[in-house]
């Protein structure tokens, strides 16, 4: 296969291929579209389409697809072949600019939350030329956005691109105020760290809960879990190492900068991190990464679990969204500068993020809300559902000094006056990192840690970009009108610190006392579940902000609210149905069969010698019978609760009912089932246990 440098990006129609296969004129024109968003001429599109098709066919492709990210599910694609009949009875391979730019998948089954009227159920896909096309199997995949004929976004990509544009627009205004008129555009970059579990396919197949819901719905605590911390960064097992090696190769061929991998805290849990890149590309890459992770696992007889909480009592999986803002010249605006003036600019961007996170805590919480992620947030393993910011002691001290006009007592005592002093460099300190904060400053970027492992990173970045754009807009409006720029800058930074410092928390976010302090003394929001937070998507302040930056229309927000809650309800209903089914058809019969066996043993013993007490057998049979009775009762109760749901009138009410009754009943059914597991002979237990699953991959 050659060395990595030979095959890296070999399946991507990237800049190198474009340069080599397009005429200078076409290349220049396409570059202008990619870099500056210039409109694409159809003649250019035709030329690109032909070059793309020839390149793809030379790499074995026979089909093409417009690859997009619908509102649920991972990614969607519909394959069309390049073939077109030729008059001599053969075929030619064809692909036009029109087919490249726009597709019309008959995608009427994708959720639209009422956006597509039934008479026009179709939407169309539009090429995103900023994200390179690539080959998967025998298909050329063209990254696209997915919209309705009314122009409403039906996917996650469209609002993400709009949010990037909103932030670009406002950040440029700020940079101009600082005298920087060379910068052409400002972009956000993301490096998402992806956690996952690996289990063997053989065991996976024996667990209906894993197959239907992606997580275990039953399972007693194993004798050994993660308490020894011996898995974290431990030696990678041979089968896992072989998996990671092939995964890297596949990702590299697709131009994905997979960089680090290591074992995570829980047994069977691992992490993969790529090198960061522009947000929309990082989003496409993360979707592809999740897909390839599952494909490669299948080749190794493994299953990659991307669920946020596959095992109760064991750490779940998240995704860390490392996020920064930089200019087209590569200057990171979240990095303290070399000169006092650059520092002032850095502090302004920092303040914009602080203000944005505080003003839109609810949107950030909403952006990571799913039924799966609700199991993590606030479970002493992931950040709590309360959003707060970690800045670190040094930066915190700088902000305090500015707020109170007192000398900053860093290395040498200096009065912090913006535009005069040089800030200390905030090098990230790996020994003193706060891993419990939902939103941590790590030297030159922020790490948003609340995302669930299976989430698309689009949602979190849409909200983050938009909220920061809004803060920058407020600053730019004021500064553009200011008579004394420096004085007003200083005042604005001071005021932001004063008004928003309640969101800054440098302590232990896993501590219960923090939740009390955050909610009771600081008034921070604590939306524990998806059902709790989702209605706030439609709060006036959120709708106003998101529509004013043209990230979403009001209709799009309403549709997203519907879809997210529908998804929440469906997920939990499927879980509940699976539980009832497993309890009734697998667990209760297994426990009863074992009880019968134990009872038979007692009868046999008594027949031999009637004076044998058989107290072990008698006691066990009694306990097992009591448990099977309880399992039957609880399964019926859950089943009845599910039937009652169908009377709920709207999605919000249904979601609340599910949160309050179904989840509780699921918990009640699990208790006797898990207890029965600890009393039933292993040979009778109908499925692999936690110990089998967690320690099964050698």
Question: Binds 117, which of Mg ion, ligand ADP, none (CB < 5 to 8 A, cut-off by type)?
Answer: none
274 vs 384, which CB is nearer to ligand ADP?
A: 274
Q: Cα(185)–Cα(35) distance, rounded to whole angstroms? A: 9
Q: Cα(357)–Cα(159) distance, rounded to whole angstroms? A: 19
66 vs 320, which CB is nearer to ligand ADP?
A: 320
155 vs 271, which CB is nearer to ligand ADP?
A: 271
Q: How many residues bind Mg ion (CB under 5 A)?
A: 2
Which of 526, 500, 504 lies closest to 515 in space, CA to CA?
Answer: 526
Binder among 445, 501, 560, 630 for ligand ADP (CB under 6 A): 445
Q: Bridge-partner residues for 186, per DSSP?
A: 327
Least distance in angstroms from the C-beta of 441 to Mg ion: 13
The answer to the question of residue 189 lying near ligand ADP (CB under 6 A) is: yes
324 vs 680, which CB is nearer to ligand ADP?
A: 324
The answer to the question of residue 445 lying near Mg ion (CB under 5 A) is: no
Residue 267 · residue 696 · CB < 8 Å: no
Question: Binds 324, which of Mg ion, ligand ADP, none (CB < 5 to 8 A, cut-off by type)?
Answer: ligand ADP
Least distance in angstroms from the C-beta of 193 to Mg ion: 5
Q: Cα(499)–Cα(475) distance, rounded to whole angstroms? A: 14
Residues for the chain: how many in total?
Answer: 698
Least distance in angstroms from the C-beta of 130 to ligand ADP: 17
Question: Binds 128, which of Mg ion, ligand ADP, none (CB < 5 to 8 A, cut-off by type)?
Answer: none
- Provide the sign of the torsion angle of the four alpha carbons 596, 601, 603, 604, taken in this order: positive
Q: Cα(333)–Cα(188) distance, rounded to whole angstroms? A: 10
Which of 325, 332, 322 lies closest to 191 in space, CA to CA?
Answer: 322
The answer to the question of residue 193 lying near ligand ADP (CB under 6 A) is: yes
Q: Bridge-partner residues for 66, per DSSP?
A: 142
Which of 366, 353, 349, 327 lies closest to 552 in space, CA to CA?
Answer: 366
Which of 613, 629, 606, 627 lies closest to 680 in space, CA to CA?
Answer: 627
Strand bridging mode 63-67 / 139-148: parallel
Q: Cα(77)–Cα(137) distance, rounded to whole angstroms? A: 13
- The 8-class DSSP code of residue 70 comes to B
Least distance in angstroms from the C-beta of 675 to ligand ADP: 39
Question: Binds 188, which of Mg ion, ligand ADP, none (CB < 5 to 8 A, cut-off by type)?
Answer: none
193 vs 264, which CB is nearer to Mg ion?
A: 193
Binder among 143, 219, 267, 274 for ligand ADP (CB under 6 A): 274
| Residues 297-336: x where in contact with ligand ADP by CB under 6 A, - otherwise, as a string | -----------------------x-xxx-------x----
The answer to the question of residue 275 lying near ligand ADP (CB under 6 A) is: yes
Span 189-218, contacts to Mg ion by CB under 5 A: 193
Q: Bridge-partner residues for 340, per DSSP?
A: none
Binder among 100, 174, 186, 273 for ligand ADP (CB under 6 A): 273
Which of 96, 106, 150 lies closest to 127 in space, CA to CA?
Answer: 96
Q: Cα(459)–Cα(563) distance, rounded to whole angstroms? A: 13
Q: How many residues bind ligand ADP (CB under 6 A)?
A: 16
44 vs 457, which CB is nearer to Mg ion?
A: 457
Structure tokens at 76: 């969607």
Binder among 156, 320, 445, 473 for Mg ion (CB under 5 A): 320
The answer to the question of residue 461 lying near ligand ADP (CB under 6 A) is: no
Residue 40 · residue 30 · CB < 8 Å: yes
Question: Binds 319, which of Mg ion, ligand ADP, none (CB < 5 to 8 A, cut-off by type)?
Answer: none
323 vs 568, which CB is nearer to ligand ADP?
A: 323
Binder among 141, 183, 190, 281 for ligand ADP (CB under 6 A): 190
Which range touches ligand ADP (CB under 6 A), out of 72-80, 185-193, 354-362, 393-401? 185-193
Q: Cα(62)–Cα(82) distance, rounded to whole angstroms? A: 6
195 vs 562, which CB is nearer to ligand ADP?
A: 195
Q: Which residue has the tokens 């524990």?
A: 528
Q: Cα(262)–Cα(244) distance, rounded to whole angstroms? A: 10
For 31, residues 6+ apart whose C-beta sits below 8 A from its C-beta are none
Q: Which residue has the tokens 């006036």?
A: 540
Strand bridging mode 123-127 / 133-136: unpaired
149 vs 233, which CB is nearer to ligand ADP?
A: 233
Span 13-32, contacts to ligand ADP by CB under 6 A: none
Structure tokens at 303: 């299953």
Residue 324 · residue 447 · CB < 8 Å: no
Other CB atoms within 10 A of residue 421 CB: 16
320 vs 659, which CB is nearer to Mg ion?
A: 320
Least distance in angstroms from the C-beta of 357 to Mg ion: 18
Least distance in angstroms from the C-beta of 453 to ligand ADP: 15
Q: Cα(21)–Cα(522) distance, rounded to whole angstroms? A: 59
Which of 365, 326, 554, 327 lies closest to 464 in space, CA to CA?
Answer: 365
Q: Cα(582)–Cα(386) distance, rounded to whole angstroms? A: 35
174 vs 464, which CB is nearer to Mg ion?
A: 464
Question: Binds 273, which of Mg ion, ligand ADP, none (CB < 5 to 8 A, cut-off by type)?
Answer: ligand ADP
| Residues 591-630: x where in contact with Mg ion by CB under 5 A, - otherwise, as a string | ----------------------------------------
430 vs 647, which CB is nearer to Mg ion?
A: 430
Least distance in angstroms from the C-beta of 290 to Mg ion: 18
Question: Binding residues for ligand ADP, per CB under 6 A?
Answer: 189-191, 193, 260, 273-276, 320, 322-324, 332, 444-445
Question: Binding residues for Mg ion, per CB under 5 A?
Answer: 193, 320
């Amino acid at each position: 296969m050659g060395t990595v440098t030979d095959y890296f990006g070999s399946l991507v129609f990237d800049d190198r291929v474009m340069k080599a296969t397009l005429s200078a004129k076409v290349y220049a024109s396409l570059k202008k579209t990619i870099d500056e968003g210039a409109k694409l001429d159809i003649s250019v599109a035709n030329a690109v389409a032909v070059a793309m098709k020839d390149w793809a066919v030379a790499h074995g492709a026979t089909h093409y697809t417009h690859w997009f990210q619908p509102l649920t599910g991972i990614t969607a694609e519909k394959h069309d072949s390049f073939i077109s009949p030729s008059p001599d009875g053969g075929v030619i391979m064809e692909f036009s600019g029109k087919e490249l730019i726009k597709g019309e998948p008959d995608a009427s089954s994708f959720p639209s939350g009422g956006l597509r009227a039934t008479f026009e159920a179709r939407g169309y896909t539009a090429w995103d030329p900023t994200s390179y096309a690539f080959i998967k199997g025998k298909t050329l995949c063209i990254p696209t956005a997915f919209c309705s004929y009314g122009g409403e976004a039906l996917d996650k990509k469209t609002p993400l691109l709009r949010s990037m544009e909103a932030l670009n627009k406002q950040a440029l205004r700020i940079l101009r105020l600082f005298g920087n008129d060379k910068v052409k555009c400002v972009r956000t970059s993301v490096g998402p760290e992806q956690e996952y579990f690996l289990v063997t396919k053989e065991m996976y197949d024996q667990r209906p809960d894993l197959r239907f819901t992606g997580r275990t719905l039953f399972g007693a605590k194993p004798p050994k879990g993660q308490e020894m911390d011996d898995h974290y960064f431990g030696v990678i097992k041979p089968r896992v190492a072989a998996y990671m090696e092939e995964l890297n190769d596949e990702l590299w061929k697709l131009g994905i900068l997979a960089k680090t991998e290591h074992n995570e805290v829980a047994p069977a849990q691992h992490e993969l991190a790529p090198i960061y890149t522009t947000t929309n590309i990082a989003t496409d890459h993360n979707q592809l990464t999740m897909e390839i992770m599952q494909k490669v696992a299948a080749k190794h007889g493994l299953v990659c679990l991307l669920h946020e909480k596959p095992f109760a009592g064991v750490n779940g999986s998240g995704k860390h969204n490392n996020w920064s803002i930089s200019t087209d010249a590569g200057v990171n605006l979240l990095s303290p500068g070399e000169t006092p003036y650059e520092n002032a600019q850095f502090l302004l961007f920092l303040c914009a993020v602080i203000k944005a996170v505080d003003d839109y805590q609810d949107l950030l919480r909403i952006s990571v809300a799913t039924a799966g992620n609700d199991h993590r947030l606030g479970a002493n393993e992931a950040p709590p559902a309360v959003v707060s910011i970690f800045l670190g002691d040094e930066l915190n001290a700088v902000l305090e000094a500015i707020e109170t006009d007192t000398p900053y007592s860093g290395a040498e005592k200096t009065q912090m006056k913006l535009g005069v002093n040089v800030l200390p460099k905030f090098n990230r300190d790996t020994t003193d990192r706060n891993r419990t904060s939902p939103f941590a400053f790590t030297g030159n970027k922020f790490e948003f840690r609340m995302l669930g492992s299976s989430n698309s990173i689009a949602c979190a970045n849409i909200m983050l970009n938009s909220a920061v754009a809004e803060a920058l807009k407020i600053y730019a409006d004021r500064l553009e009108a200011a008579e004394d720029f420096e004085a007003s800058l200083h005042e604005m930074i001071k005021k932001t610190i004063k008004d928003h410092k309640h969101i800054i928390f440098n302590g232990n976010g896993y501590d219960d006392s923090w939740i009390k302090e955050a909610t009771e003394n600081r008034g921070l929001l604590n939306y524990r579940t998806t059902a709790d937070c989702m209605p706030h998507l439609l709060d006036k302040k959120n709708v106003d902000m998101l529509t004013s930056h043209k990230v979403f229309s009001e209709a799009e927000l309403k549709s997203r609210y519907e879809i997210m809650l529908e998804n929440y309800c469906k997920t939990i209903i499927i879980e509940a149905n699976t539980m009832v089914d497993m309890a009734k058809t697998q667990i209760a019969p297994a426990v009863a069969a074992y009880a019968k066996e134990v009872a038979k043993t007692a009868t046999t013993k008594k027949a031999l010698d009637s004076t044998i007490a058989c107290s072990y057998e008698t006691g066990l049979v009694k306990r097992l019978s009591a448990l099977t009775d309880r399992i039957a009762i609880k399964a019926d109760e859950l089943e009845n609760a599910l039937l009652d749901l169908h009377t709920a009138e709207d999605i919000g009410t249904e979601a609340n009912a599910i949160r309050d009754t179904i989840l509780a009943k699921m918990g009640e059914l699990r208790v006797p089932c898990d207890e029965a597991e600890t009393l039933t002979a292993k040979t009778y237990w109908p499925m692999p246990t936690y110990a089998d699953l967690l320690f099964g991959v050698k």
